[in-house]
Chains A and B, each alone.
Chain A
Amino acid sequence: MNSLILNAATRLLVSLILLFSVYMLLRGHNEPGGGFIGGLIAAIGIAVYAIAFGPGAARSVVRIDPMTLAMVGLATALCAGIFSFFFADPPFTGAWWFAGATAGSKGLPLSNVLVFDIGVYLGVIGSALTLVIALEEET
């Protein structure tokens, strides 16, 4: 599809969509959002890009093969899950570290749960794009 309007709009939109997807990913633990939703948003962004500029361009803008991305996501989620083995907990037990916590403030909450959600995020992007780009290439 060669449309100037779509191309110009896509350039602007896709970066915003991707940024938004990261925002949705990170806020997910306390507000609506999360890795699954964030991943879907990012995938939609890239899918739009693929429609505007073609699947080849979308592949090169993602840089990593979508299937590899999905696998990296799955591996990340698994690593986050078995991280709890270090504490002799069952797999997928949450472990939290409140960086710089003081009596008054909670600090920056970091956890393997967040890493797990990032794994989900990458897995969803990877699998959705595997399908979308392959379908686009089919035509």
Chain B
Amino acid sequence: MMVPSSTDAHNAHGGSGKGALVGILAAAPLAVATAFFALQLPAVIDGETLRISAEWVSSLNVNLSFRLDGLSMVFALLISAIGAVVALYSSAYLAGHSQLGRYYLYLLSFTAAMLGLVLSDNLITLFVFWELTTITSYLLVGFNHESSAARRAALQALLITGGGGLALLAGIVLLGIAAGSLELSEIATKRDLLHNHALYLPILALCLLGAFTKSAQVPFHFWLPNAMAAPTPISAFLHSATMVKAGVYLLARLYPALGGTDAWLWSLSIFGAATAVLGGVLAIRQTDLKKLLAYTTVMALGTLVMFLGSQATVAIAAAMTFLIVHSLYKASLFMVAGIIDHQTGTRDLGKLGGLAAAMPATALAAAMAAFSMGGFPPFLGFIGKELKYEGALAIASEPWLVAAAAVFANAFVVAAAIIAAVHPFLRKRKTTPIAPREAPLTMWIGPLVLAALGLAFGVAPGPIGEFFVDTAVSAITARPETIKLSLWHGINVPLLLSVLTFALGVAIYLSRRPLIAAIGWMGAQVPSSDVIWDRLIDELKALAAAQTNFLQSGQLTSYLRVTVAVLVGVVGGTVLLKGTVQVPEFVDDLNLAGIAVVAVIAAAAVTAAIAQTRLTGLCALGVVGVGVALIFVMMGAPDLAITQLLVDTLGVVLVVGLVIYMPGFADFIEKGQKTRRLDALLGILLGTVFSMLLLAVVSEPFNRRISAFYETAAFPEGHGRNIVNVILVDFRAFDTFGEVAVIIIAAIAAYALLVGARARKERE
């Protein structure tokens, strides 16, 4: 299999002086953010929740409210710290890249959006940041926009996570309605109300759809490996440590409000377990180092979701510990993959080997990260795995099924860890496109530090448990929890499962060739999600093209017909169903002038319909317009009358200017003969429907509240005696502004059409 090597790594050799400075500049604000969050740590550990709030659209209960509690703290620290490392790393990875400024703009925008997401207390604010992460990640995945694979991957990620975002919005709105509040901290207290609410299941389904698409759960998992088209530092940041965990964050946030029901338990454990197992199984058959890591990320996300389904504190603790573990080792391994790609010119596992001698620092980082990933003692990964097994056995649904899924997935990850860290560094030396040498310090220092943290926290797990897991779990379960993390739990079931995992993992590693062949054979039996996706997109495009061809035929007459038919159907249907059409008693209002004008209008309309020459038709239409203007005058609306007259006049002036260039009217009538009956029917129906509508309107008693307000307020408040004008330019000036903008846009669009048609004609 050909493994595409990222182009960004290749054109990136050369001057690094400027790049390093940019990297430090970009890392600085994130380092400051890390320090800021770290300084808040004591307060959060004491159980405080820091809040800040500003009004945004208070009439809709949408406020810019933010809070920092244990759960937000874990995410905020991970985002800003790993963000700083990635920013520094990128400066070397992309040194000399011509679009470095754009890259950092996207990266920092994404980080800001991500921080906003995990700190928001208001659901709508959260959603805005959620969508911002989707958009910025689209830009980041598609950063190598010359590559069609990158463009496709970016669009796929955007459509899947964006589609999930729409579902989430619907879920948020329903949740807001059901809970009576949009503030997450308040919703968390309405657990019983929500559980018994009629909307509970729709809310749950929609929110889960949002979370599952974002966190790449089966069957939406396939966008994540494709998103590896992004520059590697982006994969390290977005696709391991932060964005894909936004879905997990959302589940954790909604846990106190929505969690604890059977629906929650089963959907999270089933989808999570399926994702975990599938991710693990698919990981080992990858030959592209980045894709292998991506599938193990899918496995990790599945595991996190699976554990969040549980009500047991230890399962939640397992999820939070594993979240931290995974962010540390996976970001580190992705950056190692980037270093390998950058320094050797390939990330094809078949072409890599024996790099340890040339790249000792990178190899050390990779080894430590892989040990943590494989869950070997004394790394933090081991503690995470022990907790997972303990948590799995505590899950209420099917403890042994969940435990089996966890063991199975973990065993595959052990094998994947061996492949990812051992193969490139230890085996026989192979020739690579570029002769390998150690990367600059700015590249290997980040992954080394992150991987070393995995070891340090493993040896001394106390602080992690006390400072982070405790507070995060307390925030999720909404009650104070104490979790003790330690390396040695004594000989118990989790330890035995760990041993089993290692044995199974090594067995999988050793028998990987037949296994990969078997997985490949099974994969060939079912159409891949990617193929289904492409087919779906093609069908969607075909549908769009078909309905566009049907609706946008390009014939003005058929547009008019469709418009009129829809009006008749919708308005007529509504009037018939709901309206009470009474013929009001006009007798006292009848006056001769009014009747005469109406008669003239009717006669002119008939004349226009049957006119045999264009001039007759135009004149007749003109009479209709003037007649309507006359009625406006009679009813005391001079402004309307003037406008009606002027628009009619402008129309006449326009047509007069063009009339001699128009095609013969006789042809026109000839062509129209076939549809004449239909057109007449539509015309009569439209007239009837609108007459009925007007009759229905006037048969209601007229509410004078609004007109009375304008009558009394126009002069004292608007300083004008012409109420219409005062409304237009003062009371409802914003509407007028919008209308003027629409008129101008319409004029520009028409101009573009005309000029475009002229240019086309000239080309021919």
Q: How far is the CB of B121 from chain A (nearest CB, A)?
A: 27
Interface size class of B (residues with CB under 8 A): 35 or more
Check if A124 sits within 8 Å of B650, measured CB to CB: no
Shortest beta-carbon distance from A13 to chain B in Å: 12
Chain A residues contacting B741 (CB-CB under 8 Å) are 74
Nearest B residue (CB) for A98: B719
| Interface status of A56 (Cβ within 8 A of chain B) | no
Asked whether any CB of chain B lies closer than 8 Å to the CB of A22, the reply is no
Question: In this assembly, does B14 line the interface, its C-beta being within 8 Å of a C-beta of chain A?
Answer: no
Interface window among B84-92, B188-196, B369-377, B635-643: B635-643
Residues of B within 8 Å of A119, CB to CB, are 740
Interface-centre pick from A32, A51, A77, A124 (highest chain B CB count, 10 A): A32
The residue of chain B having its C-beta at the shortest distance from the C-beta of A24 within the complex is B642
The listed residue (B639, B650, B729, B757) touching A113 by CB distance below 8 A is B729
Whether B656 contacts A36 by the Cβ 8 Å rule is no
If the complex has contacts A28-B725, A81-B734, are A134 and B743 also in contact, measured as CB distance less than 8 A? no
- Which chain B residues lie closer than 8 Å to A123 at the CB level? 740, 743-744
- In this complex, the member of B654, B740, B747, B758 whose beta carbon has the largest number of chain A beta carbons within 10 angstroms is B740
- List, in ascending order, chain A residues with CB within 8 A of B537's CB: none
Query: Of B646, B654, B744, B746, which one neighbours A37 at CB under 8 angstroms?
Result: B646
Chain A nearest CB from B717 CB (Å) reads: 8
Q: Which residues of A78-93 are within 8 A (CB) of B?
A: 78, 81, 91-92
Cα distance A111–B750 when bound, in Å? 34
- Which residues of chain A are within 8 angstroms of B729 by Cβ–Cβ distance? 28-29, 34-35, 113, 116-117, 120
Q: How far is the CB of A46 from chain B (nearest CB, A)?
A: 10
Q: Which A residues are CB-close (under 8 A) to B649?
A: 44
Is B647's CB within 8 Å of the partner chain A? yes
Bound form: Cα–Cα A93–B490 in Å? 74
Min CB–CB distance B639 → chain A (angstroms): 5
- Enumerate chain A residues within 8 angstroms of B717, measured Cβ to Cβ: 94
| Contact status B722-A33, CB under 8 Å | yes
Within A98-115, the residues touching B (CB, 8 Å) are: 109, 111, 113
CB within 8 A of A136: which of B647, B657, B728, B733? B657
* CB-CB nearest in chain A for B758: A138
Chain A residues, Cβ within 8 Å of B754: 134-135, 138
Residues of B with C-beta under 8 A to A113: 718-720, 729-730, 733
With a cutoff of 8 Å between Cβ atoms, the chain A residues found around residue B744 in the complex are 70-71, 73-74, 123, 126-127
Assess whether B536 is interfacial by the CB under 8 Å rule: no
**Which residues of chain A come closer than 8 Å to B559, judged between CB atoms?**
none
Chain A residues with Cβ under 8 A from B757's Cβ? 138
Q: Which residues of B lie under 8 Å from residue A127 when comparing CB positions?
A: 743-744, 746-748
Assembled-state Cα–Cα distance A78/B744 (Å): 14
State in angstroms the CA–CA spacing of A40 and B758 once bound together: 27
Report Cα–Cα, A113/B729, bound state, in Å. 6
Q: How many A-B residue pairs have CB under 8 A?
A: 151
A139 lies within 8 A of B737 (CB): no
Which chain A residue shows the least CB distance to B655? A135
B721 within 8 A of A: yes
A29 to B656, CA, bound (A): 33
Contact of A47 among B647, B650, B721 (CB under 8 A): B650
* A34, B722: Cβ atoms closer than 8 Å: yes
Using A34-B725, A123-B740 as known contacts, say yes or no to A96 and B719 having CB atoms under 8 A apart.
yes
In the complex the two chains form, is B740's CB within 8 Å of A120's CB? yes
* Partner among A37, A47, A92, A109 whose Cβ is within 8 Å of the Cβ of B733: A92
Q: Does B56 contact A (CB under 8 A)?
A: no
Provide the bound-state CA to CA distance between A59 and B730, in Å.
33
The minimal Cβ–Cβ distance linking B199 to chain A, given in whole angstroms, is 35
Q: Tell me, yes or no, whether B658 is within 8 Å of chain A by CB.
A: yes
Cα A31 to Cα B759 in complex, Å, equals: 46
Residue of A nearest to B646 (CB): A40
**B751 beta carbon closer than 8 Å to chain A:** yes
Contact of B728 among A36, A47, A67, A78 (CB under 8 A): A36
Measured between beta carbons, the chain B residues less than 8 angstroms from A134 are: 750-751, 754-755
In the assembled complex, which residues on chain B have CB atoms less than 8 Å from the CB atom of A47? 650, 653-654, 657
CB–CB B654/A132 < 8 A: yes
Instruction: For the complex, give the distance between the alpha carbons of A29 and B718 in Å.
Output: 9
Q: Is B661 part of the contact surface with A, judged by Cβ < 8 Å? A: yes
Bound CA–CA A124/B742 (angstroms): 11
Q: Are A32 and B638 in contact (CB under 8 A)?
A: yes
Q: A29-B721, A44-B646, A111-B719 are in contact. Are A77 and B740 (CB under 8 A)?
A: yes
Distance, CA A32 to CA B755, complexed state (A): 37
Q: Is the CB of A34 within 8 A of B737?
A: no
Which residues of chain A have C-beta atoms less than 8 A from B657's C-beta?
1, 47, 50-51, 132, 135-136, 139
Do A51 and B750 touch across chains, with their CB atoms under 8 A apart? no
CB distance A37 to B642 under 8 Å? Answer: yes
Known: A36-B643, A44-B650, A92-B734. A29 touches B740 (CB 8 A): no
Q: Assess whether B642 is in contact with A33, with CB atoms less than 8 Å apart.
A: yes
The residues in B between 649 and 667 inclusive whose CB is less than 8 angstroms from any CB of A are 649-650, 653-654, 656-658, 661
- Asked whether B726 is an interface residue with its Cβ less than 8 Å from the other chain, the reply is yes
Q: Give every chain A residue within 8 A of B734 (Cβ-Cβ).
A: 81, 91-92
For residue B688, CB closer than 8 A to chain A, the reply is no
What are 12 A-B contacts defined by CB distance under 8 Å? A29-B720, A29-B721, A33-B725, A92-B733, A94-B733, A113-B733, A120-B740, A130-B751, A131-B750, A132-B657, A136-B658, A137-B758
Q: Which 3 A-B pairs have CB atoms at the shortest separation, nearest pair first?
A: A127-B747, A29-B720, A92-B733
Extra A-B contacts (15), CB below 8 Å, given A51-B656, A71-B744, A74-B737: A28-B722, A28-B725, A28-B729, A31-B722, A34-B724, A34-B725, A47-B657, A92-B730, A94-B717, A96-B719, A116-B733, A117-B729, A124-B743, A135-B654, A135-B754
Binding site for A on B (CB under 8 A): 638-639, 642-643, 646-647, 649-650, 653-654, 656-658, 661, 717-722, 724-726, 728-730, 733-734, 736-737, 740-741, 743-744, 746-748, 750-751, 754-755, 757-758
